[in-house]
């Protein structure tokens, strides 16, 4: 490999999963500069070794986006791309982009004021889910089961957010998804593994909230949704959350995460996600070193 066989790895702290990515990259002969959120970004002009690509794995979505934007402005390519991170870190952006590109998703409304939440709830037969635009790990996501419930949701927020700074919010129909959702990990363009996240006693099936992992095969319908997602978002590393909607009998995209965690899950399903990420990084770095290279992660506009 040539001069640019080094990458910048942006992280909040080196967790088990990032360490594993580093170990695989080293085997591939790729040098890794670790850049913690607390460190300065190498934006040019310094004594830093040149790097061919910045792999963004910051824990906070805000940090991920900020750092990727600055790196891109300084002329560096990031994985994921700034556009993909921008879309994936905002549930409202995702809903709009997926609608534009015909990606199947729960029916939704964007509510710009608390009053509009009542219309949205009626639209979804008095059963819906309210989501802040930016959140993860199931935080701030509420199931609304009728007018009294919504009155309570609005009242609880009035004192902490009197100016309604947290609006607009996303309102989705509540999907009859059984006791699980499906996480598909995509690396490059390939869905490398899929598993159910099963929770008998919580409708939010995040693994952080205790859901169990149950590996499943990637069927043609799931593969085809993943193809569409990478066409729209560009190649990258993604954790797509899907529902199987038992009422409509089809798959829907709940959301796509730009920095999927895998430390716990890969030990159960056995697919070495870190290896696939490292292999993909090597492909991109090698390709960038050839004259034919054009950016691969362009989002369709």
Ligand X SMILES: Nc1ncnc2c1ncn2[C@@H]1O[C@H](COP(=O)(O)OP(=O)(O)O)[C@@H](O)[C@H]1O
Residue placing its CB nearer to Mg ion in the complex, 235 or 241: 241
- How many residues contact ligand X, by CB under 6 A? 21
Under 8 Å CB-to-CB from 192, ≥6 apart: which residues? 185, 186, 271, 273, 276
Query: Least distance to Mg ion from the beta carbon of 177, Å?
Result: 12
Query: Least distance to ligand X from the beta carbon of 91, Å?
Result: 6
Task: Please state, in angstroms and rounded to a whole number, the distance separating the CA atoms of residues 88 and 253.
Answer: 12
Which among 11-19, 78-86, 144-152, 198-206 is the span making contact with ligand X, rule CB under 6 A?
Answer: 198-206
Contact 233/76 with Cβ under 8 angstroms?
no
255 touches ligand X (CB under 6 A): yes
Interaction mask 77-116, ligand X, x per CB under 6 A: -----------------------------x----------
Which among 8-16, 22-30, 197-205, 282-290 is the span making contact with ligand X, rule CB under 6 A?
Answer: 197-205
Which among 57-65, 138-146, 213-221, 260-268 is the span making contact with ligand X, rule CB under 6 A?
Answer: 138-146
Judged by DSSP in three states, 209 sits in helix
Judged by DSSP in three states, 297 sits in coil
Question: What single DSSP character describes residue 48?
Answer: P
Residue placing its CB nearer to Mg ion in the complex, 41 or 211: 211
Residue placing its CB nearer to ligand X in the complex, 87 or 175: 175
Structure tokens that stand for 221 in this block: 């319908």
177 touches ligand X (CB under 6 A): yes
Which among 22-30, 76-84, 238-246, 288-296 is the span making contact with Mg ion, rule CB under 5 A?
Answer: 238-246
Judged by DSSP in three states, 244 sits in strand
Which among 201-209, 229-237, 258-266, 274-282 is the span making contact with ligand X, rule CB under 6 A?
Answer: 201-209
Contact 76/54 with Cβ under 8 angstroms?
yes
Which listed option, ligand X, Mg ion, none, makes contact with residue 135 (CB within 5 to 8 Å by class)? Answer: ligand X
261 touches Mg ion (CB under 5 A): no
Structure tokens that stand for 279 in this block: 């292999």
Structure tokens that stand for 128 in this block: 């819906």
Query: Least distance to ligand X from the beta carbon of 55, Å?
Result: 21
Residue ranges in the chain assigned as alpha helix (H) = 16-27, 61-73, 82-88, 91-100, 114-123, 147-158, 220-233, 266-269, 273-288
Residue placing its CB nearer to ligand X in the complex, 77 or 255: 255
136 touches ligand X (CB under 6 A): yes
Task: Give me the residues paired with residue 32 across strands.
Answer: 7
Q: Phi then psi for 290, rounded to 5 degrees?
A: -100, 155
Interface residue with Mg ion among 17, 77, 235, 241 (CB under 5 A) is: 241
Burial class (CB in 10 A: 0-12, 13-18, 19+), 110: middle
Binding-site ranges for Mg ion (CB under 5 A): 241
Give residues in contact with ligand X (CB under 6 A): 106, 129, 131, 135-139, 141, 172, 174-175, 177, 181, 203-206, 241, 254-255
């Amino acid at each position: 490999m040539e001069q640019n066989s080094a990458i910048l790895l942006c992280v909040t702290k080196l967790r088990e999963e990032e360490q594993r990515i580093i170990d695989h990259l080293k085997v591939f002969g790729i040098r890794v500069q670790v850049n913690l959120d607390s460190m300065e970004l190498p934006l040019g002009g310094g004594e830093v070794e040149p790097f061919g690509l910045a792999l963004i794995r910051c824990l906070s979505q805000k940090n991920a986006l900020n750092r990727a934007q600055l790196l891109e402005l300084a002329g560096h390519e990031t994985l994921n791309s700034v556009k993909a991170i921008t879309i994936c870190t905002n549930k409202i952006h995702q809903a709009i982009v997926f609608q534009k590109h015909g990606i199947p998703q729960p029916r939704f409304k964007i509510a710009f004021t608390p009053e509009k939440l009542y219309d949205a709830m009626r639209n979804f037969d008095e059963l819906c889910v309210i989501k802040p635009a930016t959140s993860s790990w199931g935080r701030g996501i509420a199931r609304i089961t009728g007018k009294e419930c919504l009155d309570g949701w609005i009242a609880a927020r009035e004192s902490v957010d009197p100016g309604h700074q947290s609006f607009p919010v996303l309102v989705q129909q509540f999907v009859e998804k059984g006791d699980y959702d499906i996480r598909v990990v995509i690396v490059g363009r390939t869905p490398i593994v899929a598993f159910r996240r099963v929770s008998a006693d919580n409708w939010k099936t995040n693994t952080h909230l205790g859901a169990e992992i149950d590996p499943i095969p990637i069927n043609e319908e799931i593969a085809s949704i993943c193809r569409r997602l990478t066409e729209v978002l560009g190649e990258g590393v993604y954790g797509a959350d899907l529902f199987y909607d038992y009422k409509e009998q089809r798959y829907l995209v709940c959301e796509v995460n730009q920095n999927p965690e895998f430390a716990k899950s890969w030990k159960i399903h056995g697919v070495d996600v870190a290896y696939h990420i490292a292999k993909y990084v090597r492909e991109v770095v090698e390709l960038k070193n050839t004259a034919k290279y054009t950016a691969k992660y362009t989002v369709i506009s």
